[in-house]
């Protein structure tokens, strides 16, 4: 855990230095996404949220754009469905807070029904997206989004 905190702090400092030196935000996005992953896995929601907002500003998130995933928690394939080789899709309707954290998630459609719902929601609620920005570039809560999680067997 200490190494993860140290890596998070070092990467955050590196990004601050590169940004202050004028490096283009597009070149920093892969590193920012890594920092978000490290922060989320370390329970540092503040850093993850701050970095998601910076990514959002870098790509110009606004009304009419779909939020981009900046952290995706692992989704576990339910063991019984895996053994039976059952595949499916779960469509999730969701809302975001101003830091891109999922605040509301519900199943809007599933095929087959109720087979993968629990696994999908358990994982999806931990994801983080680029937050929406208002006309002044400030992060705002937003809703009305949908995402489909596919459960597929490896081929």
Report domain extents, the chain. 2-151
Q: How many beta carbons lie within 10 A of that of residue 99, not counting itself?
A: 20
The per-residue pLDDT for range 4-45, each reduced to its tens digit, is 788 889 999 999 999 999 999 889 999 999 999 999 999 999
The per-residue pLDDT for range 37-76, each reduced to its tens digit, is 999 999 999 999 999 999 999 999 988 899 999 999 999 9
Q: What is the pLDDT at residue 14?
A: 95
What mean pLDDT do residues 69-86 have? 95
- Measured in residues, the chain has a length of 155
pTM: 0.91
pLDDT confidence tier of residue 155, bands split at 50, 70 and 90: low
Q: Is 1 in contact with 42 (CB distance < 8 Å)?
A: yes
For the 2-151 domain, the top CATH level (class) is: alpha beta
Q: What is the pLDDT at residue 111?
A: 96
The per-residue pLDDT for range 89-137, each reduced to its tens digit, is 999 999 999 999 999 999 999 999 999 999 999 999 999 999 999 999 9
């Amino acid at each position: 855990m200490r190494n993860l905190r140290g890596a998070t702090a070092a990467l955050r400092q590196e990004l601050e230095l590169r940004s202050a030196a004028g490096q283009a935000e597009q070149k920093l996005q892969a590193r920012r996404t890594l920092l978000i992953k490290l922060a989320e896995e370390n329970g540092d929601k503040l850093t993850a949220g701050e970095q998601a907002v910076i990514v959002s500003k870098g790509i110009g998130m606004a009304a009419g754009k779909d939020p981009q995933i900046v952290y995706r928690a692992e989704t576990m394939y339910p063991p019984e469905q895996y053994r039976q080789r059952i595949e499916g899709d779960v469509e999730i309707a969701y809302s975001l807070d101003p830091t891109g954290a999922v605040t509301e998630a519900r199943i809007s459609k599933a095929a087959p029904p109720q087979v993968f719902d629990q696994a999908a929601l358990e994982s999806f609620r931990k994801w983080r997206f680029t937050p929406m920005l208002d006309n002044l570039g400030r992060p705002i809560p937003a809703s009305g989004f949908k995402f489909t999680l596919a459960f597929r067997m490896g081929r």
